[in-house]
Chain A
Amino acid sequence: MIIPGKPLPIDRSKRASRRHGQLAHSVYCLAALLVALFLAAIAARAQAGNGEKGVINFLEPKLSDPVLQHSKEIYVLNGCAYCHGVDLKVRNGEAADLMHSALVGADVDGNLLAPLLRSGIPQTPKLSPMPQFSDLSDREIADIVRWIHYARQDGRYKELASASDSAPGDAVAGKTYFDQRCGSCHSKQGDLSNAVGKYGAAALKLQILRPDVLQPTPSWRVGDLNNTKLITARKQHQKLLENYSASDVANVFAYLQMK
C-alpha cells in the first residue's frame, strides 16, 4: 500500500550507496538531481502549453468556499473530470463541451442536467455512451450540477475577458440586449450613468462580465443567507455570464460608452 507523502519502496539511492560507496552515491545524487531538473524543465515547458501536460491535480487549486470545493470533489469522484475536464476543457474528444453547451446554459438549478445525469445518453453515434448516474443521491447530483455551473462561469469569464477586446461593439445591438436582459434592474441614465468614468474602459468590461459587488464570499451568517436581493442579482449575473457571447459583451460595452 502506498501512503501519500511517504517514500515508495524502491529507493535506488540507498542501494547505490551500499554497493558502491560514497563516491558512487554522490554521482548517483548528481545524476538524480539532473534528472529531476530535466523532468522539472519538461513539466514547466509542458504546463506553459495547453495545460494538459505534466501531472494534473484535479483538486487544485483548493477553493475558499467549502461547498464548492466539495462539489468539485464529487464531480471528480464520479469520473466526470476524466472526459469533460475539471475546468470543463474537454479531455476526451468524444465528451460534450460543457463550457459552451446550450443545454448547460439553459439549465436552472439542475432542471435539465439532473435528469440527464440520471438517465445518461445511451443512444449515441459516439464510441462510448455517457453513463447513467441513477444511483447517486439528490445531493450528489446537485453537487455535480453546482460544479459544472461554477466551472463554466469561471471559464467563460476567462474566455470573454480576453476575447472581448478583439472586435468593436455595436451600440445599437447593445441597447437592445441591455433593454431585454439588464433593463429590469439597471439604467444607463440611472445607476450606470457614470459607469465608464467610475471603472475605466478595461475594468468596465470585466464588471459587465462579473460585477465585483456580486462576488460570493463564503458566509453562513443568517443575514447574508437571507439577503435575497443580493442572491437573486448574483444568480442573474451568473446566468448571463454563462450565456454571453463575445459580441454581446462588446455591444453592451459600446452602448454604455455611447454618449
Chain B
Amino acid sequence: MNLTRRQFHKFALGAPCVAALGGMINSADIQAAAKIDSNIHGVQFGLQPFCYHDLPMNIENRPVLIQRMIQNGLGVVELHATWVEPRFTGPDVTPEEARDKIRQWRRSTGPDYYKKVKQEFDDAGISIFTYYVNFSASHTDEEIDATFEAAKTLGAKGVIGSYGLAVAKRLAPFPGKHGMFAGLHNHDNLSDPDAFSTEESFIKGLSFSPDFKATLDVRHFTAANQDCLGFMERHHDRMSSVHLGDRRRNNGRSTPFGQGDAPIIPLLCMIRDNHWPIVALLEFEHGTLLSGVEEVQICFDYCKRALE
C-alpha cells in the first residue's frame, strides 16, 4: 500500500484516540489537526517558541518561526499574540497610547486576518494549540471577547497567559462563552500572594471556573520548590499542558535539560503511561551558544530518548 506523506500522517495520527478526562481537550483532535507528527510514544510535543530566544517574537519573523518548527519536527505550537498582532510601541509612543492602539486593533480586526495566519500554519502542518496573551486589569470585556474569538479562529483550544489570581477571577466567565479553556500559568514568585507559583495558588485559581486548566511550567514550579509529579498525579484532569524545561530549586538558574532539578523524564513517562492528554510544550530559558533551532532539537531529542 503506497501512502503519501500526508495520507500516512492522517492514518497514523487518526488511530489512537485518547479521550480527555477534563472534557474539552482531546489529544486526537490536537493530533489530527497537525500534519507534522510530533507525538512521541503517546506524548504530544509542541513548542512555546519563546525558547527560540534568537528569534524576536513578531509578525515579521513568523515565516522564520514556521520554517524552524518544520526543521525541528514540531507540529503543535503555543502562539504568543506578538507573532500575530502588530506592534504599536515605539520611541515616540507612550505605553498608554500603545495600549489604546492595540486594544482598538483587537476590537476592529475581523476573522479574515486570523484565518490567513492560521492558513500559514496549516500549510506547514502545524496546529495552533493555544494562544498566549497576557491579560491584565486594563483589558476591557470587549477586548477579552475579541481575543478569545481570535484564538478560536486561529484554531486554538485555549488561551493562556501570565497573570495572577485577581485577573484570573475576572476571566472566569469568558472561556466558556467561547467554547474554549483558559490556561493558568505559573512563575516562581513566592513573595506575591496574587501569583500562580504553588499548588495552593493553582487550586484556588482552578476553582474559579471549570473552564480553567493548569499550564504547569515545570521549570518555574521546580524553582519554587514545588512537587511537579505530585501535582500531575493530583490535578492531571485539570491540566492542559506543561511548559517543559529545567531549572534548579530555590529560585535557581535555568539549566540544559537533565542538569537541573526538574523531573522531566518521570513526568513524560507519567503522561505516556497514563495516557493523559497533556501536551508537552518545550520551553527552555537556559543559555546556549547554539542557534535556537539547534538547542530546541537537543531538548526534543532528550525527551525522545526518555520515551523510547
Residues of A within 8 A of B (CB): 1-2, 4, 8, 10, 39, 42-43, 45-46, 52-59, 73, 75-82, 120, 122-129, 131-135
Contacts and interface: CB of A to CB of B under 8 A. Distances in A.
Contacts of B294: 2, 4
B226 interface: no
B9 interface: no
A122 B191 contact: yes
Secondary structure dominating the interface of B: loop
Contacts of B289: 59, 73, 76-77
Contacts of A39: 63-64
Given A2-B294, A53-B56, A131-B254, 8 more contacts: A1-B297, A2-B71, A55-B61, A76-B288, A80-B287, A81-B53, A120-B251, A122-B191
Contact of B254 (A58, A79, A122): A79
B243 interface: no
A81 B56 CA distance: 13
A58 B191 CA distance: 32
B196 to A, nearest CB: 10
A54 B189 contact: no
B296 to A, nearest CB: 9
A68 to B, nearest CB: 15
A131 B191 contact: no
A132 B252 contact: yes
B204 interface: no
A57 B293 CA distance: 12
A55 B55 contact: yes
Residue of B162, B187, B251, B294 with highest tally of chain A CB at under 10 A = B251
Interface residues of B, number: 40
Interface of B: 53-56, 58, 60-61, 63-64, 70-71, 162, 187-192, 195, 220, 223, 247-248, 250-254, 285-291, 293-294, 297-298, 301
B253 A135 contact: yes
B72 to A, nearest CB: 8
A78 B287 CA distance: 5
Contacts of A132: 250-253
10 contacts: A1-B297, A2-B294, A4-B290, A39-B63, A43-B60, A55-B61, A77-B288, A124-B192, A125-B192, A129-B251
B248 A127 contact: no
Contacts of A54: 56, 60-61
Contacts of A81: 53, 287
